Amino acid sequence: MSFIINMINGLITLYIFAILAVILFGLFVPHIKNPVLDFLISIVNPPLKLIREKMPFVVANDIDFSPLVLIIGLQLIRALF
């Protein structure tokens, strides 16, 4: 059981790093074409789209807070384990 919990914690950590990488590349290098970045975007964007659809107030004045909401949600899931 401990192995499964450690695996879930590791996957959550990797996913948070993927979110942060997409955010940083979007801020500093917005029009880069990189297969690794495309892969990260394809993994990160579906939950972000869902958050934006269900909670339209997370985008205010062209500032998107959906990654923050997703990271907080992942941290809450991690706290349950």
pLDDT digits (tens, 9 = 90+) for 31-77: 878 898 899 999 999 999 999 999 888 888 888 899 999 999 999 99
Contact 48, 20 (CB under 8 A): no
Helix, coil or strand: residue 63: strand
* Lookup: tokens for 11: 């996957």
Domain regions of the chain by residue span:
2-80
Q: CA-CA distance, 67 to 22, in Å (whole number)?
A: 10
pLDDT class for 27, splitting at 50, 70, 90? confident
pLDDT at 26 > cutoff 90: no
Contact between 12 and 77 (Cβ < 8 Å): yes
3-state DSSP assignment of residue 50: helix
What pTM value is reported for the model? 0.85
